[in-house]
Amino acid sequence: MDPASAAMNPSSAAMITSTLLVMLSLIFCFFLFLYLLCSLLPRAFAAGRAAPRKLSLPPGSMGWPYVGETFQLYSNNPDTFFALKQKRYGPIFKTHILGCPCVMVSSPEAARFVLVTRAHLFKPTFPASKERMLGRQAVFFQQGDYHARLRRLILRAFLPEAIRRSVARIEAVALRTLQSWDGRLVNTFQEMKTYAFNVAIVSIFGKDELSYLEELKQCYYTLEKGYNSMPINLPGTLFFSAMKARKQLAHIVAKIVSSRRKQRTNEANNDLLGSFMEAQEALSDDQIADNMIGVIFAARDTTASVLTWIVKYLGDNPSILQAVTEEQEEVMKKKEAGNEEKSLTWADTKRMPLTLRVIQETMRVASILSFTFREAVEDVEYEGYLIPKGWKVLPLFRNIHHSPENFSDPEKFDPSRFEASPKPNTFLPFGNGTHACPGNELAKLEMLVLLHHLTTKYRWSMSGYESGIQFGPFALPLNGLPLRFSLKSPVEDRAA
């Protein structure tokens, strides 16, 4: 217990004020994000569109002209907005957010329709400024042949056959991350971001000692700062610096590519860069740069948010933490007894079923990606409703994951519910269909490896932690979960 942190003091007041400020600026950025998203829209919302048949739009209200229901959405927790809508209108409804007419869908059947069976009718959609910053040729923005080719190259580097050989390297990154935590107050999310970044580097380049690594990191951080800023490209703005960093990143990647071309070693490169450079299907330097930056972007904050939530849920549920720790100690003991190789192996990570269920249940409850965006490329009929061409379509993952029909007592953190596999399209932490996450095996692997060392070596307590949730844009424990981790003493018994 830490009584000091329970009482209100000036520094916590200051912290609340700064949290509010951060929240307000995030809300502002989100408005801007939506505004930009919509300014891209063709005049799709113009009246008089000829539908092939007389179909009606899905139920729902469009709210006020122009602002639509933006205030209703952002005046409280977005979950409340979605849940209320779903209760009133059912699993498919229309709304209007800052100039964007959208259809939101929250049933497994509708998510399957949009993401899997009719994926060609719904293209990915992002604001132009984000596309420019990540790189126009990055995989997320593509549809059709170029997309299929890119995906093949990416998957080749992230399938189990490819990543099973990198377990020891990932473990080294995990140990380095954890080393400095003892007794220090750490921002869990920031630490997990560093971890996920370094694992991404290992999987892209095959190693993490790279001559340009520091430069690459610096550029990436500058890019990140500009990503959520106003897209005004004038000297002095964060956006301007980010665009500059973007150019530098492409330059660094080109240097790495050219030095690898010179090496021409016989060893097969199983990493992502190797896959991109493989003779027959080789990409151009620009395509490689856009997609490498894209993969780091897709890999880092997502994995770091999930890891942060796991630390929180384990802290909140001591009996589950105890069971996970026992499972991990078992893995450790087996290795010691069997005189096995000291570092973790792919086979070891398959002896962690309970830990895997904790990861799954965390991804369900926290649903860090509450929804994704698509845009109808033509008028589409679904269940007798019209989804007009140009409208945004949002599959609401979070609603699906919190539906009591699919998951009983949905707010309860209960990993045992994953002892039975979930029904198709009721559990979509990695999406589904043509754009589903190609990094999901790596994400699970790196989380298992970190949790192995975290639970066997460290203890942490949630007492005094003010619980709460922030969206920025991923769901995250308040302030990134600042915590104190301490090393367990070596003699400490498991029963203690």
Ligand X SMILES: *[C@@H]1O[C@H](CO)[C@@H](O)[C@H](O)[C@H]1NC(C)=O
- CA 147 from centre of chain: 20
Closest approach of ligand HEM to the CB of residue 2, in Å: 31
Closest approach of ligand HEM to the CB of residue 64, in Å: 29
Strands annotated E in 106-196: 122-124, 185-187
Amino acid identity of residue 151, one-letter, is R
Give the phi and the psi of residue 246 in degrees, each rounded to 5.
-60, -45
Of 264 and 423, nearer to ligand X (C-beta) is 423
Closest approach of ligand X to the CB of residue 303, in Å: 18
Distance CA 188, CA 313 (A): 13
Of 324 and 356, nearer to ligand X (C-beta) is 356
Distance CA 189, CA 57 (A): 42
What's the residue count for the chain? 496
Written as one string, the DSSP assignment of 165-222 is GGHHHHHHHHHHHHHTTBTSEEEHHHHHHHHHHHHHHHHHHSSS--TTHHHHHHHHHH
Nearest alpha-carbon partner for 201 in 131, 306, 273, 139: 273
Closest approach of ligand HEM to the CB of residue 134, in Å: 11
Interacting residue ranges for ligand X, rule: CB under 6 A: 91, 107-108, 112, 116, 403, 405-406, 423-426, 428, 432
399 binds ligand HEM per the rule CB under 6 A: no
356 binds ligand HEM per the rule CB under 6 A: no
Pairing of strands 392-395, 385-387: unpaired
Among 33, 82, 93, 140, binds ligand HEM (CB under 6 A): 140
Whether 102 contacts 391, CB under 8 Å: yes
Closest approach of ligand HEM to the CB of residue 139, in Å: 5
Closest approach of ligand X to the CB of residue 83, in Å: 11
429 binds ligand HEM per the rule CB under 6 A: yes
369 binds ligand HEM per the rule CB under 6 A: yes
Closest approach of ligand X to the CB of residue 109, in Å: 7
Whether 109 contacts 405, CB under 8 Å: no
Number of residues that bind ligand HEM (CB under 6 A): 24
Residue 303 interface partner, choices ligand X, ligand HEM, none, CB cut-off 5-8 Å depending on type:
ligand HEM
Q: Footprint of ligand HEM on residues 15-74 (CB under 6 A)?
A: none
Q: Footprint of ligand HEM on residues 272-311 (CB under 6 A)?
A: 295, 298-299, 302-303, 306
Distance CA 239, CA 228 (A): 9
Residue 97 interface partner, choices ligand X, ligand HEM, none, CB cut-off 5-8 Å depending on type:
none
90 binds ligand HEM per the rule CB under 6 A: no
Closest approach of ligand HEM to the CB of residue 1, in Å: 33
Contact range with ligand HEM by CB under 6 A, out of 13-21, 94-102, 433-441, 487-495 = 433-441
What's the distance, Cα to Cα, between the start and end of the chain in Å? 17
Structure tokens at 5: 């942190």
Give the phi and the psi of residue 265 in degrees, each rounded to 5.
-75, 165
437 labeled part of a ligand binding site: yes
Residue 198 interface partner, choices ligand HEM, ligand X, none, CB cut-off 5-8 Å depending on type:
none
Nearest alpha-carbon partner for 438 in 342, 340, 330, 298: 298
The single-letter DSSP state of residue 488 is: P
Of 227 and 385, nearer to ligand X (C-beta) is 385
The CA-atom distances, in angstroms, between 162 and each of 209, 291, 304, 322 are: 20, 18, 22, 32
Contact range with ligand HEM by CB under 6 A, out of 22-30, 97-105, 150-158, 185-193 = 150-158
Of 114 and 200, nearer to ligand X (C-beta) is 114
Amino acid identity of residue 79, one-letter, is D
Q: Which position's Cβ is nearest ligand HEM?
A: 439
**Residues in the annotated binding site for heme:** 437
User: Which residues line the annotated binding site?
Assistant: 437
